């Protein structure tokens, strides 16, 4: 079972309706008007809400930053590929649950429709991912594998390439592929990419982290697709 900590991700999970809940646990003394949306969502899903002491929450939680609210629910299963698919992210070799969650939070903000996760096993702690993603994990389809539809252009992001993300026309269906912190993009993914592009930085600067690089390239897709962008005109 996953332990979801904090009002934001518990509410997101209840509203998304993709999990089966054991219960929502709320610290005694929290005013009902401050969690009205959460109580309403739990009632709509038929999920029991239990008032418990602080010590009982601490015993279930991974840390003491739950803010007096947590839930116990079944893990999320990987999603199917949504159709139609116009904007996706492929993460190759991500090992850290929090980095994964941060990428999902940015992906949700920039309008990504699905995140492909290239891993041999889907073994992240779902509670950690949901918390670090501020609930985006509950809403955004996560597809296990790298079988991106052929109708979607696969674009690899790698340091040191002459062509930059700003040289590409990103208005058509696109999937941005980024590698993990340790190894970068694998040869298998590189070979399937229609092009490899980089993020321009000043000479001698350290490479960007996965989470920051992902945010930069996703923001460029959204910028180009904006009606105010020169390429969107």
CATH of the domain at 180: 3.40.1280.10
CATH number of domain containing 50: 3.30.1330.30
CA distance linking residue 221 with residue 62, whole number of Å: 36
Same domain for 165 and 91: yes
pLDDT digits 0-9 by tens, 152-171: 999 999 888 889 999 999 99
Average pLDDT over residues 97-123: 89
- DSSP letters spanning 90-138: EEES---HHHHHHHHHHHHHTT--EEEEE-SS----HHHHHHHTTTHHH
Is 82 a domain residue?
A: no
For residue 231, pLDDT over 70 is answered with no
User: Are 151 and 212 contained in the same domain?
Assistant: yes
In a domain, 98, yes or no: yes
pLDDT category, 230, cuts 50, 70, 90? low
Residue 118 has pLDDT above 60, yes or no: yes
Q: What is the pLDDT of residue 201?
A: 85
pLDDT in tens, 193-203: 999 999 988 88
My answer on whether 137 and 197 are in the same domain is yes
- Domain endpoint, select from 73, 102, 123: 73
- Based on the domain organization, do 130 and 205 belong to the same domain? yes
The residue with greater pLDDT, 12 or 228, is 12
Whole-number pLDDT of residue 181: 75
What pLDDT score does 121 carry?
54
Instruction: Find out whether 116 and 185 touch, Cβ atoms under 8 Å.
Output: no
Look at residue 15 and tell me whether its pLDDT is greater than 90.
yes
Q: Taking 90 as the threshold, does the pLDDT of residue 75 lie above it?
A: yes
Output the average pLDDT for the chain: 91
- Return left, alpha or beta for 56; rule: phi > 0 is left, psi -120 to 50 is alpha, else beta: alpha
One domain, residues 91 and 191? yes
SS3 content of the chain, % helix, strand, coil (to 5): 35, 20, 40
Return d(Cα 97, Cα 81) in angstroms, integer: 22
Residues near 95 by beta carbon (within 8 Å), at least 6 away in sequence: 180, 181, 182
Residues 15, 118: one domain?
A: no
Query: Which of 73, 98, 128 is a domain's end point?
Result: 73
Could you list the residue range(s) of the whole structural domain that residue 141 is in? 87-232
Is residue 210 within 8 Å of residue 181, measured between CB atoms? Answer: yes
Task: Answer yes or no: are the C-beta atoms of 72 and 3 closer than 8 Å.
Answer: yes
Q: Look at the chain and report how many structural domains it folds into.
A: 2
Residue 80 forms part of a structural domain: no
In which band, very low, low, confident or very high, does the pLDDT at 137 lie, cut at 50, 70 and 90?
Answer: very high
Q: Which residues pair with 25 in a beta bridge?
A: 50, 70
pLDDT of residue 120: 60
User: ω into residue 84 within 30 of 0, thus cis?
Assistant: yes
């Amino acid at each position: 079972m996953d332990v979801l900590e904090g009002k934001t991700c518990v509410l997101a999970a209840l509203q998304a309706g993709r999990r089966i809940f054991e219960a929502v646990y709320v610290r005694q003394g929290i005013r009902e008007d401050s969690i009205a949306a959460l109580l309403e969502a739990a009632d709509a899903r038929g999920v029991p809400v239990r008032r418990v002491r602080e010590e009982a929450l601490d015993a279930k939680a991974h840390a003491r930053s739950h803010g007096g609210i947590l839930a116990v629910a079944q893990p999320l299963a990987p999603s199917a590929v949504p159709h139609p698919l116009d904007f996706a992210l492929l993460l190759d070799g991500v090992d850290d649950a929090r980095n994964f969650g941060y990428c999902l939070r940015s992906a949700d903000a920039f309008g990504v429709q699905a995140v492909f996760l290239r891993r041999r096993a889907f073994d992240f702690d779902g509670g950690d991912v949901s918390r670090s993603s501020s609930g985006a994990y509950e809403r955004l389809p996560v597809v296990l594998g790298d079988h991106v539809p052929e109708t979607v252009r696969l674009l690899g992001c790698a340091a040191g390439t002459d062509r930059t993300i700003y040289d590409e026309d990103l208005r058509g269906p696109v999937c941005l592929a980024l590698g993990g912190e340790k190894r970068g993009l694998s040869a298998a993914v590189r070979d399937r990419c229609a092009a490899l592009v980089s993020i321009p930085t000043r000479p001698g600067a350290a490479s960007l982290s996965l989470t920051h690089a992902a945010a930069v390239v996703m923001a460029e897709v959204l910028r180009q697709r904006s009606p105010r962008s020169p390429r969107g005109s």
